[in-house]
Structure formats: structure tokens, C-alpha cells
């Protein structure tokens, strides 16, 4: 399969994930999709990555910013359509989305399931 074909499949699965996130009552915004090799090298040197073979280099990975509904008495990070939301990177808040992502294709991997380095907001296609 060509790189462009893989990227297209990745984007189609990403659309399904975003629809699922929205139906679950969460809000999500885009983080990093493509990463320049110089930035990957910097992340490796500073411990923010463990590899120079990131799928971000091929536009086959994205880091997402998750906002869950604020709980009673909790300070909101942002209000969307008048409703309070809180930015979260908590694995227990995002795990359901990781499971959904991986269920879409055997080639999809969620960073929260990485063994050596948990990367909760990371979603990729091999």
C-alpha cells in the first residue's frame, strides 16, 4: 500500500474517532500531525520521544488535545457552547477512545498502550 493510501486510511479512521469522541460528550482539538525530522531529533534528545522512527514523520500519527465535561465544582479550562470543559491527559479519561481507535484497524495503535513510554494523546497507524 502506498504512503498516500495509508494516509488516506488514517484520516478516514481519524474522522470516525472524532465522531465517536463527540458522541461521548468530549471535545477534541488537533495537536501535532506532521513533525519535521529536526523536531523529532529535539524530542528524542529531550526525552519527549523514544525513537527517530515516529509515524508523525510520515503524517500517520496525531496528538490530540482532549477536553472532558467539567465535574460539579471543578474549574473549567474552556467553555464550548456555554458548557464547561477541562483539558485532560488522564489515561482513565482517554482510554475508551484508545480502545475504539485500535478496534478500527489492526494497524491502529494508541500511545496509552505503549509499553515503555505512555503517550496518552497519541494515535497512529503502522
Give the count of alpha carbons within 13 A of 5, CB side only.
Answer: 2
Report residue 124's pLDDT band, with 50, 70 and 90 as the boundaries.
Answer: very high
**What pLDDT was estimated at residue 51?**
84
Range of the domain at 112: 3-33+60-125
Query: DSSP assignment, residue 24?
Result: T
Q: How many domains does the chain have?
A: 1
Among 93, 78, 94, which Cα is nearest to 17's?
A: 94
C-alpha cell, 51: 525513537
Is pLDDT above 90 for 48? no
- Within a domain: residue 73? yes
Interval 73-103: pLDDT, tens: 999 999 999 999 999 999 999 999 999 999 9
- Within a domain: residue 86? yes
pTM (predicted TM-score): 0.91
Residue carrying the nine cell digits 520521544: 49
| φ, ψ (nearest 5 deg) of residue 53 | -115, 35
C-alpha cell, 1: 500500500
Report residue 49's pLDDT band, with 50, 70 and 90 as the boundaries.
Answer: confident
> In CATH, what number is assigned to the domain containing residue 11?
3.30.1380.10
Interval 50-71: pLDDT, tens: 888 899 999 999 999 999 999 9
Amino acid at each position: 500500500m502506498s504512503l498516500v493510501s495509508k494516509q488516506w486510511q488514517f484520516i478516514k479512521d481519524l474522522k470516525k474517532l472524532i465522531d465517536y469522541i463527540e458522541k461521548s460528550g468530549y471535545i477534541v482539538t488537533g495537536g501535532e500531525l506532521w513533525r519535521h525530522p529536526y523536531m523529532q531529533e529535539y524530542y528524542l534528545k529531550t526525552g519527549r520521544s523514544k525513537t527517530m522512527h515516529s509515524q508523525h514523520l510520515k503524517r500517520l500519527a496525531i496528538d490530540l488535545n482532549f477536553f472532558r465535561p467539567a465535574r460539579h465544582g471543578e474549574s473549567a479550562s474552556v467553555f464550548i457552547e456555554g458548557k464547561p470543559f477541562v483539558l485532560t491527559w488522564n489515561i482513565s479519561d482517554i482510554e475508551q477512545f484508545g480502545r475504539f481507535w485500535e478496534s478500527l484497524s489492526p494497524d491502529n495503535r494508541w500511545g496509552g498502550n505503549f509499553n515503555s513510554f505512555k503517550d496518552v494523546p497519541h494515535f497512529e497507524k503502522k
